[in-house]
Amino acid sequence: MNEFLKVLVIDDEENILWLLKEGLENDFIEVLTTTNIEQAANILEREHIDVCLVDIFLDNANGIELVDRWKKTYAGVNFIIMTAQNTSSNVINSINAGALDFFPKPFDLEKLRNKILEICKKTESESTVGKEFVYDFQTSSQKMLDIYKLIGRIAKTNINVLIQGETGTGKEVLARMIYEKSNRSDKPFVAINMPAIPDELMESELFGHVKGSFTGSVSDKTGKFEQANGGTIFLDEISELNYSLQSKLLRILQERELNRLGSNKTIKLDLRIIAATNKNLENLIKQEKFREDLYYRLNVVSMDIPPLRERKEDIPFLVNHFLKKYRDLKGEVLSIGEDAMEKIKKYTWPGNIRELENAIQSSIIQSSGSVITADDLPQKISKNNVLNGYSDSLFSQLYKLAQDIIDAENLSQKNMAFDEFCRITLKPLFEATLMETDGNKSLAAKILGINRNTLRKKIKELNIE
């Protein structure tokens, strides 16, 4: 890295140029700024620019298209895209066009300065801006921004991807994003929901069969892997794949070929595999329910989607997305009232984005005007719950506790997860009630809604002094 760095900033807002010059320039970094595309090109031509910051939406140009073009012309320049519209397509297309990073507005100047220092003198392979996304979501979540950047980097490769996340977090959406930006986007995308296929039909559904291979097989059948040949196959909830069939999937990953059930004919495969799971596969490996060699074959690149309760800053974006998506239910795009939005933000969303989508559909149907109110929301969301204020921290902690207990019980084979969870969570409830009643067991039992004998039993079981 040179001792002195030159940074060029291109933005059509003078206040942004001033902010970045004041915030980034120091004894080691010189910042040049311009609102003019031709002037920017002249600077890149005559100056040695280490990093060029480009806004996406300029008056007379698109920043992503500029980066795509300039990356080829000015090979020594590292590009960073910036914008206030942090949609998945903007992030992925930026990285795909050759930008080394993507920074949302408003800026964290310290992070931006550190990134400039980090990426200087690094190079990245060229790529092109592709078609518009079907799946495009605004985000303010740093975790999601990082995922979109990763998609931009690996989409045009053929490496296998493992997407991990709770039910309803959008694992298939990410899989389709990867597919849409891949070199296989004009070939099939085949999605398979593993739990939906009965065990006795799994092998035939995945790998196909020939006529007479088993009772009822009256004709040849093409399996899902053959249907996806040339394209991408998405294996949703891969943890549900029968252990005996995991070795056959492993062979496909290793050899890129298969045999239909009942046939010795080898079929060559050329496809990309994206798998997803809502379970901890490493724990399943310890329980000998999932093959370790298969896990490592699938998990070449891993993406961990945060649950909605950990990215609540994205809820307004998602709500507006679903309001537009389901406007045909009312024939117009409704808006969301402040009272309804507050209720939505406080809810813990155990079903994640899928539950939010269903809630918005229901609310649109329930609404009588052009604005969705709190009363239009499903009751479990709209009702006044004293725990709402604690939802973020409390639910996350209890959920993590439940996961740890389940993992421990699976490994120990004691099958006492329910009792263990109750023991841990009930003790503070009983202690707090007895404290509030100054040890009055009759009053404590009344508050808890149990009889005194049950209370005495629980005090003893929970070892409460």
More confident site: 293 or 73:
293
pLDDT higher than threshold 80 for residue 265? yes
Q: Quick: pLDDT tens for 15-36.
A: 889 888 888 887 678 889 999 9
Average pLDDT over every residue of 313-327: 89
Cβ pair 331, 365 in contact under 8 A: no
pLDDT tens-digit series, residues 352-370: 999 999 999 999 988 888 8
* pLDDT given for residue 209 in this prediction: 86
The predicted structure's pLDDT at residue 49: 86
With a cut of 50, say whether residue 212 has pLDDT above it.
Answer: yes
Q: Is the model's pLDDT at 132 over the cut of 60?
A: no
Q: Model confidence at 412, in pLDDT bands (50, 70, 90)?
A: low
Position 294 scores a pLDDT of 95
Per-residue pLDDT of 36-45, as tens digits, reads: 999 998 888 8
Contact 10, 54 (CB under 8 A): yes
| Domains of the chain in sequence order | 5-133 (3.40.50.2300), 155-213+220-304 (3.40.50.300), 308-388 (1.10.8.60), 390-461 (1.10.10)
Mean pLDDT value of segment 145-174:
93
The rounded distance, in Å, linking the Cα atoms of 325 and 319 is: 10
Q: What is the mean pLDDT of the chain?
A: 84
d(CA 189, CA 204): 19
Phi/psi at 129 (nearest 5 deg)? Answer: -75, 130
pLDDT of residue 170: 92
d(CA 90, CA 385): 38
Total count of residues recorded for the chain: 465
- Taking residues 270-280, report their average pLDDT: 94
Range with the poorest average pLDDT among 28-37, 68-77, 306-315, 380-389: 380-389
Q: Does the pLDDT value for residue 433 go beyond 80?
A: yes
pLDDT band at residue 231 using 50, 70 and 90 as cut-offs: very high
* Cα of 183 vs its chain's centroid, Å: 22
Residue 97 class from Cβ within 10 Å (0-12 exposed, 13-18 middle, 19+ buried)? buried
Cβ(411)–Cβ(283) below 8 Å:
yes
**pLDDT in the model for residue 4:** 66
More confident residue, 221 or 13: 13
Rounded distance between C-alpha atoms, residue 54 and residue 424, angstroms: 53
Task: For residue 48, give the amino acid letter.
Answer: H
Q: Residue 411 — very low, low, confident or very high, per pLDDT cuts 50/70/90?
A: low
What is the separation of C-alpha 452 from the centre of its chain, rounded to a whole number of angstroms? Answer: 48
115-119, 134-138, 241-245: segment of lowest average pLDDT: 134-138
Percent of the chain at pLDDT above 70?
Answer: 90
Residues whose CB is less than 8 angstroms from the CB of residue 345 and which lie 6 or more positions away in sequence, other chains included: 312, 315
Q: State yes or no: pLDDT of 58 exceeds 70.
A: yes
With a cut of 90, say whether residue 162 has pLDDT above it. yes
Q: How confident is the model at residue 307 (pLDDT cuts 50, 70, 90)?
A: very high
